[in-house]
């Protein structure tokens, strides 16, 4: 496989610097071509390389531009692994961020998640502990207490409180971002997050019906 990603040009951060704060419509149009060439196209190449290394990552989208300044200041990309289960990548002035996320769940997904945790939450606990040990931040939409249908002293009460789960980390070393090594960094993080994404896809997302 021929790799496409060669690193972000150093001028990419110059473009993002111009978009800080509340950039005017005029400023956005002035930098649009440079932003496409220096910021967005390298992200497409980066995700293309990830998909080339593993076909599971082929369903990806690299976001374009919107009215909100956020979409100009942050170059986002998403790999859909199951319904509401995603690997997301984002570049901004703070670096390259990657996260595994089950969020904005469909109706029915939260009860399926809770049932999976109640049945055997040991696997998910071990996965999250391993990610924390590697420096990942674990967040999500968390209730103040466990759901009423489960005892307060349930061994996995902390996990039952979740209505979403996000594990994220950041590459802030600019010397890496300017080189193809950022592609290897992303591939390594995707591998580390694979167990979490796989657990969520199996336990939370509704199985796709197979043709009869």
* Domain ranges (residues) in the chain: 11-203
Q: What is the pLDDT of residue 207?
A: 58
pLDDT surpasses 90 at 168: yes
Q: Is the model's pLDDT at 84 over the cut of 60?
A: yes
Answer whether 8's CB lies under 8 Å from 182's CB: yes
| Backbone φ, ψ for residue 135 (5° rounding) | 100, 5
Burial class (CB in 10 A: 0-12, 13-18, 19+), 73: middle
- The pLDDT assigned to 206 comes to 66
Residues facing 89 on adjacent strands? 77, 98
Band (210; pLDDT cuts 50, 70, 90): very low
Rounded CA-CA distance 61/78 in Å is 5
Query: What is the value of pTM for the model shown?
Result: 0.91
The answer to whether domain 11-203 has CATH 3.30.70.100 is no
Residue 173's contacts (CB-CB under 8 Å, 6 or more residues apart) are 95
Residue 173 Rama label (left phi>0; alpha psi -120 to 50; beta)? beta
């Amino acid at each position: 496989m021929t790799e496409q990603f060669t690193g972000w040009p150093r001028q990419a951060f110059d473009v993002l610097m111009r978009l800080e704060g509340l950039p005017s419509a005029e400023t956005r149009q002035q930098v649009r071509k440079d932003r496409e060439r220096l910021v967005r196209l390298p992200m497409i190449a980066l995700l293309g390389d990830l998909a080339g290394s593993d076909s599971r990552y082929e369903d990806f989208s690299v976001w374009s531009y919107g009215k909100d300044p956020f979409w100009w200041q942050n170059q986002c990309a998403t790999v859909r692994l199951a319904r509401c289960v995603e690997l997301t990548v984002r570049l901004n002035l703070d670096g390259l961020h990657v996260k595994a996320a089950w969020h904005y769940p469909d109706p029915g997904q939260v009860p399926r998640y809770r049932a999976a945790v109640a049945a055997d939450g040991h696997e998910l606990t071990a996965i999250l502990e391993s990610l924390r040990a590697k420096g990942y931040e674990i967040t999500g939409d968390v209730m103040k207490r466990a759901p009423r249908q489960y005892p307060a002293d349930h061994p996995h009460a902390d996990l039952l409180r979740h209505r979403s789960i996000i594990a994220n980390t950041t590459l802030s070393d600019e010397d890496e971002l300017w080189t193809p090594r950022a592609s290897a960094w992303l591939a390594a993080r995707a591998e580390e997050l694979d167990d979490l994404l796989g657990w969520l896809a199996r336990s939370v997302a509704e199985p796709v019906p197979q043709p009869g």
